[in-house]
Amino acid sequence: MIMELYQAYIQTPLGITAIKGNEHGLTSVSVGDDKNLVPTEVFPDSLATAAIQLQEYFAGKRTTFELQLNIRGTDFQKSVWQELLHIPYGKTISYLELARRLGDVKSIRAAAAANGQNPFWIVVPCHRVIGSDGSLTGYAGGLWRKKWLLEHESPYKQQALFA
């Protein structure tokens, strides 16, 4: 039985976000720079909750997501993505720490590669993984988006220096 795949688009501060899924849950959430995409006006029922929760996240009203995910990937990828869900809002870990949490520090490259293959932008917070030296390394959506997301989630908001 083939399930119909739905998709919708929302405008975010970081570009148009594509939400895809079916009755079994979301299959992907991604952001891009395609200027030809326009936000969806009427959302399929299976995607409406995701659109609302993403908008709440960007408005600063949501720190966790409560969405059904239809995750497809290798067992290792799934274990990495599951571990990412344990990184609290406003916190970061290193790729080395991610590998440690997976039980094998030697898996750091594989963990980083799986992190980069995460199909659920923001919902599975791959942006919260940084270099051991605190650097913003590797991000499929562009480092400027990773920086924006980490600043958005930071408990220490920059105050204006000049009025």
pLDDT tens for each residue of 113-161: 999 999 999 999 999 999 988 888 877 788 999 999 999 998 776 554 4
Q: Which long-range contacts (CB under 8 A, 24 or more apart) does 142-146 make?
A: 145/14, 145/15, 145/31
pLDDT score, position 32: 85
Angle between helix 108-116 and 75-84 (nearest 10): 80
Confidence bin at 35 (pLDDT 50/70/90)? confident
Structure tokens at 38: 């326009």
Q: Which residue has the higher pLDDT, 85 or 46?
A: 85
Mean pLDDT value across residues 71-89: 96
Residue (of 125, 159, 119, 117) closest to 145 by Cα position: 125
Q: Give me the amino acid identity at 162.
A: F
Whether the Cβ atoms of residue 9 and residue 37 lie closer than 8 Å to each other: yes
Q: How far is CA 63 from CA 12, 59, 71, 83, 137, in A?
A: 16, 10, 21, 17, 23
Confidence bin at 4 (pLDDT 50/70/90)? confident
Q: Give me the amino acid identity at 38.
A: V
Catalytic residue among 8, 51, 87, 126: 126
DSSP-assigned states of every residue in 28-88: EEEEE--TT----SS--HHHHHHHHHHHHHHTT--SS----B---S-HHHHHHHHHHTTSP
Looking at the whole model, is its pTM more than 0.75? yes
Catalytic residue flag (residue 35): no
Arithmetic mean of pLDDT over the chain: 91
> Which of 30-39, 65-74, 140-149 shows the highest mean pLDDT?
65-74
The tens digit of pLDDT for each residue in 45-61 reads 889 999 999 999 999 99
For a pLDDT cut of 90, what percent of the chain falls above it?
75
Residue (of 154, 148, 152) closest to 15 by Cα position: 148
Confidence bin at 163 (pLDDT 50/70/90)? very low
